[in-house]
Amino acid sequence: MRETAREEAENPRIDYGIIFSVMMLALIGLASIYVAAVHDKSTTNVTRTVAVQILWYAIGIAIVAIVMQFDSEQLWRVAPLAYGVGIILLVAVLFLYSRSYYVNTGAKSWFALGPFTFQPSEVMKPAFILMLARVVMTHNNEYPVHQVQSDLILIGKLAAWTLPVAILLELQHDFGTMLVFFAIVGGVMLVSGVTWKILVPLFSFILVIGGTAITFVATSWGRTILGHIGFESYQFSRIDTWLHPANDTSNSGYQLWQSMKAIGSGQIMGKGFNHTEVYVPVRESDMIFSVIGENFGFIGSTILILLYFLLIYQMIRVTFDTKNEFYAYISTGVIMMILFHTFENIGMNIGLLPLTGIPLPFISQGGSALIGNLIGVGLVMSMRFHHKSYMFSSDSEAFN
């Protein structure tokens, strides 16, 4: 009994480091949403806006507590079901999408339930991560020695599970969310054991394609070609705004220009809490980082980024401590999801990356993204909670 208690004290089942990081991000998020709501003329009830976000956090915490009860065997079995439900929701939203959101954003990616909205692609992300982890684990059991031929088969499997999601997101006109799924696939592929003989040419090809697309945007004939293969006018506008933010500061580039002005005006120390002078549209969600930059300056923004690094560090440490290969793929997917969200959101707020409508994890207003990220946190915390070190290679029957 004493030995068990000592082990529990030294290695607690609850990872308080992750809880601390998420709690601090939540507090920053609630304070930032309050500031954005106070200075937004369209917000009629500031208290309600903050209370709704707190409610989403309460729901998310309850879901984390539930997800933590699933050990690796149960997650293994639930992965196909979660993926299937996610696909059904992505199909359903194409027919039951919010008409008002479609008019405002051009995306068919939101359900409207009375005053509440819900984006199914956000909760699809953790389900997708579970499925990819299972696919990689199954493949590596079948092909324990990595060779070019077997690794190409694995890439084909990952592409097959990703393609339906990509097609549905394209039909929803949600390119930004699609990029998150691609980042998850890329991260899982990197740790899956695929040889660098494949990875280097593959990622080089992707970079060339991206660079070529940007080059095409700069020419009229290039835009014609991209238009024929599915690029929309709003996507061209976002790239133009990114490449030349000062060219149209009163129309398509207004949001980015105002965000950059707000962040720059915060300077080193910021103007202080709730001292906002620069108006930024949609500040409470996509542009929430501009609130932090203006109110708390470079110092506050740096602290926020360090909190994200601390959260990711805690997740990586849990993965190494538990020594479970299936968990390793899950945590990689979760880390890539949070990392890409953070990198893209902050990057687009300061003009380094194009505007994509991706929220800042645990900070931006909205329940769908918050729930999806908290499910990811719950998956990682379940590793510490169960702390099992299954040897998949020698006991794979338990996961079939």
pLDDT digits (tens, 9 = 90+) for 172-197: 988 889 999 999 999 999 999 888 88
Find which of 91-105, 140-154, 232-246, 333-347 is predicted with most confidence, using mean pLDDT: 333-347
SS3 353: coil
**Per-residue confidence (pLDDT) for residue 135, from 0 to 100:** 95
**Per-residue confidence (pLDDT) for residue 222, from 0 to 100:** 74
Cα(2)–Cα(4) distance, rounded to whole angstroms?
5
Q: Choose the weakest-confidence range: 63-72, 182-191, 238-247.
A: 238-247
Measured from the Cβ of residue 46, the count of other Cβ atoms closer than 10 Å reads 16
CA dihedral 211, 216, 219, 224 (to 10 degrees): -170
**Per-residue confidence (pLDDT) for residue 10, from 0 to 100:** 53
> Binning pLDDT at 50, 70 and 90, where does residue 399 land?
low
Quick check: 245 pLDDT over 90?
no
| Mean of pLDDT values over 196-204 | 89
* Residue 128 structure tokens: 């997708």
Residue 111 pairs with which residues in a beta bridge? 97, 118
**Cβ–Cβ < 8 Å for 194, 154:** yes
- Residue 55 CB-half CA count within 13 A: 9
Measured from the Cβ of residue 84, the count of other Cβ atoms closer than 10 Å reads 12
**Per-residue confidence (pLDDT) for residue 390, from 0 to 100:** 43
Nearest-5° Cα angle at 180, 176 to 182: 110
DSSP labels, 268-331: TT-S-TT---S--TTTTTTTHHHHHHHHHHHHHHHHHHHHHHHHHHHHHHHHHHHT-HHHHHHH
Nearest-5° Cα angle at 368, 161 to 102: 85
Q: Which residues contact 199 (CB under 8 A, 6 or more apart)?
A: 189, 190
Quick check: 263 pLDDT over 90?
yes
> Binning pLDDT at 50, 70 and 90, where does residue 6 land?
low
Domain boundaries along the sequence of the chain: 13-197+248-399
**Per-residue confidence (pLDDT) for residue 238, from 0 to 100:** 72
> Binning pLDDT at 50, 70 and 90, where does residue 281 land?
confident
Higher pLDDT, 142 or 8: 142
End-to-end CA distance of the chain: 35
**Per-residue confidence (pLDDT) for residue 260, from 0 to 100:** 92
